[in-house]
């Protein structure tokens, strides 16, 4: 037996491009590196005219030439697996995969101890040479890099340049417009992902600008709004390391300031924004889900739970390369389930304070629900009805907002007076009959939207209590047929 070295083919560099970063997550990965390097200022610039480059400049510790080389090597920074407590990195891949997921060329220029050095990965160059070759830039090449003047005017720092932005701008006709749209979305993404750094939490101030405009933090918990309710911080130890949980119940919309009300995650997008907010070293990793512990419901839409975990517990969280997904370990999930029950209760209180539900317990999932408040009663379309969910599931946030608005307007405009007058005259509304073909079509659509159980019996159970399916007599047979795909 003998050992043989099997070096990966250069196409690996191209394959890595498909890890699935979007532009925001890719830039956030670079900013992770800047923060770890001790930066207090990060400037993102996107070429708004020709869309030919994106640059990310920081005033962190910078790197000498050998360190840049290590930084550009795949998994060059992994070491023995232990990381400083405040390190936002993990895989030794972020800089390369994030950058090349957007464009074909990545240049890293860094100023350290008075020396300015730059190295470059260029996918086309690597493929042409058939070898893992980086370019070492000479002074003249360095001088031509976008944003280089800004780096030269600093004492230390790092400039990352992305060019040939093929993936980032794929399919776009008006490149300049596309760049501007990407930068706008980026501002929102960074404002939330790094809000705790932008707020200066823990005495580590950070300023981020995007094309010269400062990014303002977006605090998902509205901790500054006095009407926000919060639980005491709960400390759980996993493998001896602290995980902190704090639950927040956001104020009812009437207690929001005008600025807060304009935020999409507090207006039409409120419902989608409920759930756990998982932070790794204070950097937001994922949000907007209850991690399978509950479904997003109308009544818990005011609840958001902050979960803080340290990087030493990475191995338990199944963190992905993009750092945009982390799955809670089973030990923690059990605890989170308890926390959930107590908070969704309190979110319900915020809601029912304004609108008490019909006191008669009603197991039916009706299309309409009657709400009683201090100033009277009103009717609402039940947003957790499967038909509404099936439609909403495939929509993006803006469209979902429009749908919610439409349903609210429909409900608000319901001709109650007219109905009242008719009932008073003993006029009866025309009974609604579902014709059998229509039932099948609707069941097929609900099945396709995956909002009902996979198991036919469970689906029957669920639909028996849901209008208008409760009145379908042969529901069981129809479901059996459609669920089996025949
Ligand atoms: N802006 C920067 N300033 C200083 N050093 C940097 C900078 N960007 C990258 N580095 C160095 O390059 C290394 C590689 O970065 P890269 O993002 O590829 O991996 P990582 O941060 O170690 O892990 P991850 O894949 O989880 O991001 C870093 O560990 C760091 O030493
Ligand atoms: Mg990194």
The DSSP line for 126-159 is: HHHHTS-PPEEP-HHHHHTSTTHHHHHTSSSEEE
pLDDT at 130: 95
**CA-closest residue to ligand 1 atom 11:** 71
Mean pLDDT, residues 348-363: 45
| Closest ligand to Cα 63 | 1
Helices and strands (H and E) in the chain: how many = 18, 17
Where do the domains of the chain lie? 11-214, 229-353, 368-424, 436-483
pLDDT value at residue 245:
93
Contact between 266 and 341 under an 8 Å Cβ cutoff? The reply is no
DSSP for 304-363, written as a single string: EEEEEE-GGGHHHHT--TTS------HHHHHHHHHHHHHHHHHHHHHHHHH-EEPSS---
Residue 228 has pLDDT above 70, yes or no: yes
Judged by its nearest atom, the ligand closest to the C-alpha of residue 32 is 2
pLDDT tens-digit profile of 374-402?
A: 666 677 787 777 778 778 777 887 888 78
Handedness of CA 236, 239, 240, 241 (dihedral sign): negative
Which tokens in the block code for residue 479?
A: 């479901």
Which is more confidently placed, 60 or 341? Answer: 60
State in Å: Cα 396 to ligand 2 middle.
29
Mean pLDDT of the 174-202 span: 96
CB 336 within 8 A of CB 291: yes
For residue 46, which of 177, 152, 134 has the smallest C-alpha distance? 177
What pLDDT, in 10s, does the model give residues 455-478? 999 888 888 878 788 888 889 999
What's the CA-to-centroid distance between 96 and ligand 2, angstroms? 9
Average pLDDT of the segment spanning 408-418: 77
Among all ligands shown, which has an atom nearest to the Cα of 321?
1
Closest CA relative to residue 315, chosen from 327, 297, 302: 327
pLDDT, one tens digit per residue, over 109-154 is 999 999 999 999 999 999 999 999 999 999 999 999 999 999 999 9
For residues 313-318, average pLDDT: 86
* % of the chain beyond a pLDDT of 90: 51
CA of 95 to the centre of ligand 2 (A): 6
Q: Whose CA is nearest to atom 6 of ligand 1?
A: 33
Considering just the CA atoms, what is the radius of gyration of the chain in Å?
27
Pocket test for ligand 1, best of 36, 154, 162 (most atoms within 8 A of CB): 36
Ligand nearest to the CA of 90: 1
Q: For position 79, what pLDDT does the model report?
A: 66
Band (pLDDT 50/70/90 cuts) for residue 192 is very high
| Candidate of 56, 77, 118, 281 to mutate for ligand 1, largest count of ligand atoms within 8 Å of Cβ | 77
Closest residue by Cα to atom 7, ligand 1, is 33
- The Å distance, Cα 165 to ligand 2 centre, comes to 20
Cα(31) to centroid(ligand 2), Å: 8
pLDDT class of 364 with cuts at 50, 70, 90: low
- Taking residues 230-247, report their average pLDDT: 91
Task: Give the tens place of pLDDT for each residue, 261-315.
Answer: 899 899 888 889 999 999 999 999 999 888 878 777 777 888 999 999 999 998 8
Q: Which of 31, 62, 82, 92 has the most ligand 1 atoms within 8 A of CB, as the residue to mutate?
A: 92
Do 229-353 and 11-214 fall under one CATH topology? Answer: no
Q: How far is the CA of 77 from the centre of ligand 1 (A)?
A: 7
Least confident of 78-82, 145-149, 334-338: 78-82
Residue 72 Cα, ligand 1 centroid: separation in angstroms?
Answer: 8
Place of tokens 């509404």: 388
Looking at the predicted structure, is the pLDDT value of residue 167 above 90? yes
Q: Residue 393 and residue 273: Cα distance in Å, rounded?
A: 14
For the stretch 12-50, pLDDT in tens is: 999 889 888 999 999 999 999 999 999 999 999 999 999
Count of beta carbons in the 10 Å neighbourhood of residue 421: 11
Nearest CA to ligand 1 atom 9: 33
Kindly indicate the confidence band of residue 175, based on its pLDDT and cuts at 50, 70 and 90. very high
Which ligand is nearest to the Cα of residue 323, counting in written order?
1
Q: Give 91 Cα–ligand 1 centroid separation in angstroms.
A: 9
Among protein residues, the one with the nearest Cα to ligand 1's atom 22 is 92
Asked whether the predicted pLDDT for residue 84 surpasses 60, the reply is: yes
- Residues having CB within 6 Å of any atom of ligand 1: 29, 32-34, 37, 58, 60-61, 63, 71, 77, 89-96, 158
Q: Mean pLDDT: which of 149-153, 340-344, 404-408 is highest?
A: 149-153
DSSP letters of 371-432?
A: EEETTEEEEEE-TTSHHHHHHHHTS-HHHHHHHHHHHHHHHHT--HHHHHHHHHTT--PPPP
Which CATH architecture best describes the domain 11-214? 2-Layer Sandwich (3.30)
* Ligand 1 pocket test, candidate residues 38, 71, 326, most atoms within 8 A of CB: 71
Non-local CB neighbours of 152 within 8 Å, separated by 6+ positions: 111, 116
Task: Summarize the confidence of residues 408-417 as an average pLDDT.
Answer: 77
DSSP code at position 366 = -
Measured from the alpha carbon of residue 99, the closest ligand is 1
Distance CA 188, CA 477 (A): 49
Q: What is the pLDDT, as a whole number, of residue 91?
A: 87
Any idea what DSSP says for residue 217?
P
What is the rounded average pLDDT for all residues in the chain? 87
Q: Indicate the length of the chain as a whole number.
A: 486
Q: Nearest residue CA, atom 29 of ligand 1? A: 77
CA of 30 to the centre of ligand 2 (A): 6
Give the distance, in angstroms, between the CA of residue 5 and the centroid of all CA atoms in the same chain: 41
Q: What is the CATH number of domain 229-353?
A: 3.30.230
Atom of ligand 1 at shortest range from CA of 78: 22
> Would you place residue 373 in the very low, low, confident or very high pLDDT band (cuts 50, 70, 90)?
low
Spatial neighbors of 265 by CB under 8 A, at least 6 apart, are: 218, 220, 272, 273
pLDDT bin (cut points 50, 70, 90) of residue 359 is very low
Burial 278-296 (b: 16+ CB within 10 A, else e): bbbbbbbbbbbbbbebbeb
CA of 128 to the centre of ligand 2 (A): 28
Rounded CA-CA distance 42/193 in Å is: 14
Q: Report residue 156's pLDDT band, with 50, 70 and 90 as the boundaries.
A: very high
């Amino acid at each position: 037996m003998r050992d043989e070295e099997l070096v990966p083919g250069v196409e690996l560099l191209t394959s890595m491009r498909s890890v699935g970063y979007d532009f925001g997550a890719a830039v956030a990965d670079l900013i992770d590196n800047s923060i770890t390097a001790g930066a207090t200022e990060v400037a993102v610039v996107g070429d708004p005219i020709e869309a030919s480059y994106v640059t990310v400049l920081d005033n962190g510790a910078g790197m000498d030439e050998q360190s840049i080389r290590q930084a550009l090597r795949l998994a060059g920074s992994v070491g023995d697996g232990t990381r400083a407590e405040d390190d936002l990195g993990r895989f030794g891949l972020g800089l390369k995969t994030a950058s090349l997921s957007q464009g074909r060329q990545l240049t890293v220029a860094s100023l350290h101890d008075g020396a300015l050095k730059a190295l470059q990965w260029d996918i086309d160059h690597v493929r042409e040479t058939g070898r893992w070759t980086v370019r070492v830039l000479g002074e003249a090449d360095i001088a031509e890099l976008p944003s280089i003047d800004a780096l030269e005017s600093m004492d230390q720092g790092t400039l990352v340049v992305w060019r040939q932005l093929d993936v980032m701008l794929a399919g776009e006709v008006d490149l300049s417009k596309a760049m501007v749209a990407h930068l706008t979305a980026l501002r929102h993404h960074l404002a939330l992902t790094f809000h705790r750094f932008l707020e200066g939490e823990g005495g580590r101030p950070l300023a981020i600008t995007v094309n010269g405009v400062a990014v303002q933090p977006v605090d998902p918990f509205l901790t500054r709004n006095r009407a926000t309710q919060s639980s005491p911080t709960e400390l759980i130890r996993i493998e001896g390391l602290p995980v902190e949980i704090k639950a927040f119940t956001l104020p009812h919309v009437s207690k929001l300031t005008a600025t807060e009300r304009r935020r999409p995650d507090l207006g039409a997008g409120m419902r989608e924004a409920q759930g756990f907010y998982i932070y790794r070293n204070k950097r937001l990793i994922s949000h907007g889900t209850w991690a399978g512990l509950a479904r997003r419901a109308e009544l818990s839409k005011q609840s958001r739970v902050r979960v803080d975990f340290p990087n030493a517990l990475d191995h338990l969280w199944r963190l992905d390369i993009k750092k945009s997904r982390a799955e809670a370990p089973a030990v923690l999930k059990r605890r989170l389930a308890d926390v959930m029950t107590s908070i969704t209760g309190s979110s319900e209180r915020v809601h029912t304070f304004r609108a008490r539900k019909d006191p008669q317990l009603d197991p039916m999932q009706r299309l309409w629900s009657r709400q009683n408040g201090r100033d009277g009663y009103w009717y609402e379309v039940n947003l957790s009805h499967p038909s509404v969910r099936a439609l909403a599931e495939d929509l993006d946030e803006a469209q979902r907002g429009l749908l919610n608005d439409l349903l609210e307007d429909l409900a608000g405009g319901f001709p109650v007076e007219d109905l009242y007058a008719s009932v008073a005259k003993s006029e009866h509304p025309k009974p609604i009959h579902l014709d059998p073909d229509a039932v099948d079509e609707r069941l097929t659509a609900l099945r396709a939207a995956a909002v009902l159980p996979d198991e036919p019996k469970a689906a029957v159970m669920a639909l028996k209590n849901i209008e208008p399916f409760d009145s379908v007599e042969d529901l069981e047979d129809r479901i059996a047929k459609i669920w089996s795909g025949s």
